[in-house]
Amino acid sequence: MPSAIEPPVPLMPKNGARLRAGFERWNRKLHFYSGLFLIFFLWLFAFTGLLLNHPSWTFHEFWKNRQQTNYERVIAPPGPNVNGDLGQARDIMKQLGIDGEILWTTTRTEASQLDFQVRRPGHFFVIKANWAQKRAAVQRSDVNLWGVMKILHTFTGNVADDPRNTRDWALTFLWAYSMDAVAAGLIYMVLSSWYMWLRLPQKRFPGAIVLGLGLLSCGLFCMGLRWLF
Amino acid sequence: MKGRFYRLTRDLHLYLGLFISPFVLVFSISVFSFVHSWIPSLAPETVNTRVVSAVALPGDLEKLSGRPLIDALKPILENMNIRGEIGFVRHLVKEEKLIIPVSIPGRATTVSINLAGHEATVVSRETGLADALVTLHRSPGQHGPDIRMNWFYIKAWRWFADATVYLTLFISVSGIYLWYMLRVERRVGFILLVAGTLSFFGIAYALSH
């Protein structure tokens, strides 16, 4: 039973301290749990980012080393329920047994002709379908593992400034949202690491210098160059 | 000896992680723009147009292409007080025009040089921070290696981007070591590591087969 002269609110700081300790423990746990879960995603994007920034390194060349095959298949005209370019392209892909993200590169000029590309990491298809001739010509290119890895880095299904080319394959959606998740996970890891560092009084000063250097150099590129030039 | 190695690894993990953390944020935040083809802007884009006359042009400019063209354009642009990374130059033969895109993260400038009239129209757009992050994320990039990095700062950005990758690899490996040293966390961590590995390879396999 507290007396009248005792401090009136001893419970709040205790609860607060407990909450903070719990938050710190879980922040630390979640920091390395996220890192462990995302490790292969992180390695893929980091490593392929390096490769994409060094196109002159020849060991990861994939397009020159592709294997290309050409073939023709008989196709049936799309049924009455198939509507639009996308529906017709999907109908043709189903008949040809091809799965992937559709890429529109040409403008349609004839109603019985449909030219389009299908892409998925490792495989590229150029399809020219003609219902009047009931044939589809397919050019298939298969690339090596370097190609698969580098395409995964950029495989979003969207083409910038081209509203016609948007995601249309379920697996592209899955991969795109995985990219979002990896990015969100990395942002969380950065923020949680800042919090953990701030909770270490003896590391605050050297940490602040290092973080300050990082912020300055990164800020120069993000904002500083516009002010300087 | 073991304790010393652990402490050294932990300190390097912390300090190197702090140094690259702003760069990791740049790459991570811009991912959303790439995935959703959406660049948020806090302020409206401002466009500035000006005309520069009596532009001094070398006689053989029309015959040049690739890196020699970029090298020839640099002093011309500097005289017009335009700095930045020069992109793919378009030569409109009939119109006797050169269209030159020049970019600084957050600013896109298009210079149209009228070769016959020795006149240039400079349109400069302030595109904002989000666009700057997107530009940096894909710089210098895989296309046009012979003309890319024609501005010192983009070359310097590549050094930082490369360093971010190398340090990320170090931090991830040292992070695994630091986690492994926490005996009580091994079980849960291992389950998550396996779950992440299966997710990654599962999706990658489904996409490519």
Can you say how many angstroms the Cα of residue A31 is from the centroid of all Cα atoms in its chain? 21
- Closest partner residue to A217 (CB to CB) among B37, B142, B160 is B160
Residues of A in contact with B208 (CB under 8 A): 120-123, 148
Give me the pLDDT at residue B79, please: 93
Residue B50 to residue B112: CA distance in whole angstroms: 11
Going from the C-alpha of A92 to that of each of A66, A105, A122, B109, the distances in angstroms are 24, 17, 21, 43
Which pLDDT does position B59 carry in this prediction? 82
Contact A190 B200 (CB under 8 A): no
Q: Which residues in chain B have Cβ-Cβ distances shorter than 8 Å to A178? A: 199, 203
At residue B107, the 3 state secondary structure works out as strand
Q: What is the CA radius of gyration of chain A?
A: 27
ipTM attached to this prediction:
0.93
Query: Min CA distance, A5 vs chain B (Å)?
Result: 44
Q: Please give the residue that has the higher pLDDT: either B161 or A11.
A: B161
Which of B84, B129, B158 lies nearest to residue A53, judging by beta carbons?
B158
The answer to whether the CB of A140 falls within 8 A of the CB of A69 is yes
Is B32's pLDDT higher than 80? yes
* Alpha carbon distance B195, B203 (integer Å): 12
Chain B nearest-CA distance from A150, in A, is 10
Taking only the tens of pLDDT, chain A with its 229 residues reads 444 444 455 555 678 899 999 999 999 999 999 999 999 999 999 999 999 999 999 899 999 999 999 999 999 988 888 888 899 999 999 999 999 999 998 887 888 899 999 999 999 999 999 988 999 999 999 999 999 999 999 999 988 878 889 999 999 999 999 999 999 999 999 999 999 999 999 999 999 999 999 999 999 999 999 999 9
Average the pLDDT over B90-97 and give the result: 92
Rounded CA gap, A101 and A118, in Å? 5
Asked whether the beta carbons of residue B195 and residue A155 sit closer than 8 angstroms, the reply is no
Where do the DSSP E strands lie in chain A? 67-74, 101-103, 113-120, 123-130, 135-142
Residue B186 reports pLDDT greater than 70: yes
**SS3 assignment, position B71:** helix
Cross-chain Cβ contact A36/B24 below 8 Å: no
Contacts of B83 in chain A (CB under 8 A): 229
Residue B104: helix, strand or coil by DSSP? strand
For residue A147, give the chain B residue with the closest CA: B208
Range from A120-124, B91-95, B160-164 carrying the lowest mean pLDDT: B91-95
Alpha-carbon distance A127 to A75, whole Å?
12
- Going by pLDDT thresholds of 50, 70 and 90, the confidence category of residue B1 is low
Chain B hits for A39, CB-CB cut-off 8 Å, are: 172, 176, 193, 196-197
Peptide bond into B140 cis (omega under 30): yes
**Disruptive mutation site among B26, B35, B104, B173 for chain A (greatest number of A CBs within 10 Å):** B35
Task: Report which secondary-structure segment, H or E, holds A215.
Answer: helix A201-219
A207/B197 Cβ within 8 A: no
B188 and A33 in contact by Cβ < 8 A? yes
**CA nearest B84: which of A216, A225, A219?**
A225
- Most confident region among B36-45, B51-60, B144-153, B184-193 by mean pLDDT: B184-193
Task: Say if the Cβ atoms of A183 and B29 lie within 8 Å.
Answer: yes
